[in-house]
Structures are given as C-alpha cells and as structure tokens.
Structure 1
C-alpha cells in the first residue's frame, strides 16, 4: 500500500476555498454545483492540466442522498418531508448514502491523479491520515471503522470513543479521484441525525428492500466540538486544513478555473441537474 504522505506530498498543490460562496457562475451555489466542480477538477488533474487539489466547501441546510437512496419505495414522501423542513435535497454522483450538511459541517475534497495505480483503500487511507494529522494536537483517539446505526455508514467512518464525526466517499473520473469527507465540526449533531432517521422511516416504512439502509441512531453521532470538549469552528478547521497542506508541499497555489475546466464543469453540471430532475420536481 502506498504511504499516504506520498499522495499528499507534491511539489505543488492547488487550494480552493469555496466554503463561503453563495453563487457560482451566476447561479445559486448548491451541492449540485460542488459535485460538478469536483468532477471538472478530477478531469483536469487526470489530464495533468492542474496539480493535485484540495477544495473546501460548505452548504447550508442540505441533505445529500446517495444513489441507492433514490430507490427507496416511498422516496417521494421522504423528499417532501425534507423539503417541508427547509432542506435542499440533492442526489450525489459519488458513493454512499444520505448525509446532512449545514454551516457547521466542513467538506474537504482531495482530488488526486493516478487512479490506475491507486486503490480505493489507499484513497480512503490518505484522507483518514490527513484529517488525523490536522487534529493531532487535539487528540490521538481518532479511529476509522464502521459505526453501526450512523448515517452513511462505512469502513472509513471517523469516530472518537465510538461516536462518528466524519464520513468519506470517493468519485473516480478517468485517471483522477475526488476523495470527499464531511467533517461535523460544530452544531447540533443529534438534530442532523434525527432528520436522516425520519427520512428513512417515511421513505421505507418498514418494507423489505434489496438494499440494506441504516437504522439511524442519533446517539452514535457527534461533532468534533462536543467530542473534544473544545469550541472548534468551521473557520478553525479551514485554517488547520490549509496549514496541514502547506506542511507537506513546497508550494500551495490558488488559481481560477481554466477554460477547459469551465467547459468540463458545464457538462458535468448538466449531468448532475439531469440526475436530480425527479428531486427538483417533487413538490411539498
């Protein structure tokens, strides 16, 4: 297995902070745009037109569903529930199941080249180790294993004392990969998990399904602030992320989208919008 530092440590790493955006290309900035942006960057990195990139993003009052969630037997009722509660609902193009985002949740995408020589586990491991490094002055208790009854459970859930604060997914495009993590930094984790639990309750209604959906227990989820008994903010974590990236790289650069990235973004955005047509058309 490749050492995670070999993936993070490059001559040049690109840094993009989209965490405070409200519009992008004259449209309201939503999670649909974020997934299209990561695809465009993965393509650019795949073609060696951009260095490896770290992108930070935040979306208020958003529920991001996984592809299997769209197959729930009463999905329309679940979407209506979420919309009535004031959430924007998006089906993503990467792996995993439903997650809750808001202004207390920081998303980090590590977008790397060389997918043909990079296993899925190595991609996950790089993100786990990077986040562990970001927080190493605060805790040495971070573990990576599936937290049963969490939302979007997986082998690389990050937890402290059995309570999950982060989940990771991957999106592979040609020879580029976007390893995406949500970090529950601050705010009401119980409330977030309860929303997802209620969504599954009404979308499944106890019916048997081919796919196994989680039985969400809000008590197994928590924020970093609560787990570390320290008032961390998203802004704090952004500083930590950039500082950690700089520690491994000779040069960290910020640069706007190129013409080719813009063209790829527009194509991927149309694909994301098409994927979400049913979601958008579901009325409350």
Structure 2
C-alpha cells in the first residue's frame, strides 16, 4: 500500500472546517451542500494546493445512486423520516451511509490526478487516517468488511469491525476522496438503521444489483473499538495536527467569487438530483 507522501507531495494545504456551520453562503449546511462544495473544490483545485475539509451532518442517511433503484424506495425513505433522518442522494460512489453528530467526514481534494489511479488516491486517505491515530492503534486494516453497509475494498476496520468507509468523486483534473468515520456513539445502532432501511426498501425482492445484507455486529465506532472516549472534536484536532506535520503551510481561504458562482450551480444540481427522494419524506 502506498503511503501518503507517495501520492501527495504538496507542502501547502487549504483547510476548511465546516463542521459547525449552519449555513454556507445562504444555503442550509446539509449533506446536499457538502457534496456541492466538494465538487467545486475539485473543479478549482487543478494547479493549486490540495484541500482538506471537515464536515458533520445531523441525522442523515446518504444514499448512493444504486439505492434509488430499490423496488420500494419510498417506503424505505418514509421509514428513515419516521426515525428522524433525512435521506439524501449523493453524486459520488457507494451505497447508503448513516451520518449523525458522532460521525466525522473528511474530504481530501487533490489536484492534477489524471496520472494518479483511483486506488492510489484511496491509499493516500488510508495512510493519512492511520497517521492521525498512530499513537492509539497500529491495527487499522483496509479491506472489504462483509456485512457492513456501503462495503468496499477500502473499508477501515480494527479487529474485523468497520468504523469508516471511503468514496471518491472526480471532477475534471481534481478528485475529492471522502471518508466517513464513526467516531462517537454506537456503530451497531447506525448499522441497524441502514439494515431497516434496506428491509423496507427491498422487502426481500431479488434485484439485479447486489445490495448489502447488513449485519450490525461487524460495525462499531472508534470509541468502542479503542475503548476510550474519543470525540469528534478530538478527532478534528488530530486531523489538523497531522496536516500540520505533513505540510509547511496551511491556508484557510474562504470561497472566491468564481467558486461561489460554481457552488450555486452545483448546489442546484444536487437539489434537482434529490427532488424525487425529497418528495417521499
């Protein structure tokens, strides 16, 4: 597996902490906003500094595009709504993921990736997360955890129980590598919610797409796996400290006027993508 510095050779980074924002330039700071923001960062990153962005969204289940083809999707979305969760369809790969205030999302946005493989970008994120937690554990592994929600080759786990998953979105020459990390709370409860969603939205019907049979026992939060009280705030500080270790300068520039113009367009696209699902809630 490649190390962070094999893929990311830059020494200056743009750092954006959007975890506490209620609004982003006039738009509610929901998962819709976050996916639009990452698109804009990827669109403008070519020839400039990589960006690291942190984001948290309360009580949201982010669906993948294949989830929108579930035979009883409306019933699954209604179940989530009854449980107090908003359903949002993302524009990057993967399947359903549960977000709440105990889940930290990190976006690593890299420039000029045409000559960089998708796998190398994934491995850069894996090595960065390992570095952020190196004093707490050397047991983080990356392989598919069968029975987890949104399973993939780059599931992050400790002792066979998954706490994080990674997706990737490429826009022109930029790539946004996005990881969700279950930091606080009970991973099994999040997994049970997603399992209930699939039960309601699929009802045992055979489908062409292979949706996961979620087994809550294979998922846990970092706090549970490490046996310590690790908070999202503490994890944010670890991310920033790691970024300071691997860089010479960190900038915190807000969006430029050109970026804001593209944000308005990308946000509108996300709203359009979610019209059908929004009508089910």
TM-score normalised per structure 2:
0.98
Change in Cα spacing, 1:2 to 1:166, as seen in structure 2 (3 Å) is: closer
Measured against aligned partners, the alpha-carbon deviations of 1:4-40 in whole angstroms (never above 9, x if no partner) come to: 3143341310000001111112232100000000000
Question: Given that residues 64 and 99 in structure 1 are in contact (C-alpha distance below 8 angstroms), is that contact kept between their aligned partners in structure 2?
Answer: yes
Alignment partner, residue 167 of structure 2: 169
Change in Cα spacing, 1:231 to 1:2, as seen in structure 2 (3 Å) is: closer
Question: Given that residues 145 and 157 in structure 1 are in contact (C-alpha distance below 8 angstroms), is that contact kept between their aligned partners in structure 2?
Answer: yes
**Residues of 2 paired with 1:153 and 1:170: CA distance?**
14
TM-score normalised per structure 1:
0.97
Structure 1 residues 181-196: aligned runs within 5 Å: 181-196=179-194
2:45 is paired with a residue whose SS is helix
Alignment partner, residue 15 of structure 1: 15
**Residues of 2 paired with 1:108 and 1:7: CA distance?**
17
Question: Given that residues 7 and 120 in structure 2 are in contact (C-alpha distance below 8 angstroms), is that contact kept between their aligned partners in structure 1?
Answer: no
Structure 1 residues 21-40: aligned runs within 5 Å: 21-40=21-40
Q: CA deviation at 1:222?
A: 0.2
Q: CA deviation at 1:224?
A: 0.5
Alignment partner, residue 90 of structure 2: 92
Give the stretch that moved more between structures: 185-194 or 6-15: 6-15
Alignment partner, residue 43 of structure 1: 43
2:53 is paired with a residue whose SS is strand
Q: Aligned match of 2:206 in 186, 200, 208?
A: 208
Q: CA deviation at 1:3?
A: 4.7
Question: Given that residues 43 and 173 in structure 1 are in contact (C-alpha distance below 8 angstroms), is that contact kept between their aligned partners in structure 2?
Answer: yes
Alignment partner, residue 258 of structure 2: 260
1:143 is paired with a residue whose SS is strand
Deviating beyond 3 angstroms after TM superposition, the runs of 4 or more aligned structure 1 residues are 6-9
**Residues of 1 paired with 2:9 and 2:242: CA distance?**
11
Measured against aligned partners, the alpha-carbon deviations of 1:17-71 in whole angstroms (never above 9, x if no partner) come to: 001111112232100000000000101102x3x4110000000000000000000
**Residues of 2 paired with 1:8 and 1:109: CA distance?**
14
What is the total number of aligned residue pairs between the two structures?
281
Q: CA deviation at 1:2?
A: 6.2
Question: Given that residues 99 and 196 in structure 1 are in contact (C-alpha distance below 8 angstroms), is that contact kept between their aligned partners in structure 2?
Answer: yes
Measured against aligned partners, the alpha-carbon deviations of 1:75-118 in whole angstroms (never above 9, x if no partner) come to: 01100110111111100000000000000000000000122111
1:117 is paired with a residue whose SS is coil
**Residues of 2 paired with 1:95 and 1:28: CA distance?**
23
**Residues of 1 paired with 2:100 and 2:3: CA distance?**
33
Question: Given that residues 100 and 196 in structure 1 are in contact (C-alpha distance below 8 angstroms), is that contact kept between their aligned partners in structure 2?
Answer: yes
2:94 is paired with a residue whose SS is coil
**Residues of 2 paired with 1:191 and 1:231: CA distance?**
18
**Residues of 2 paired with 1:108 and 1:21: CA distance?**
15
Measured against aligned partners, the alpha-carbon deviations of 1:233-275 in whole angstroms (never above 9, x if no partner) come to: 0001000001101111110111110011111111111111110
**Residues of 2 paired with 1:267 and 1:27: CA distance?**
12
**Residues of 2 paired with 1:210 and 1:69: CA distance?**
12
Question: Given that residues 186 and 224 in structure 2 are in contact (C-alpha distance below 8 angstroms), is that contact kept between their aligned partners in structure 1?
Answer: no
Unmatched segments (≥5 aa) in structure 1: none
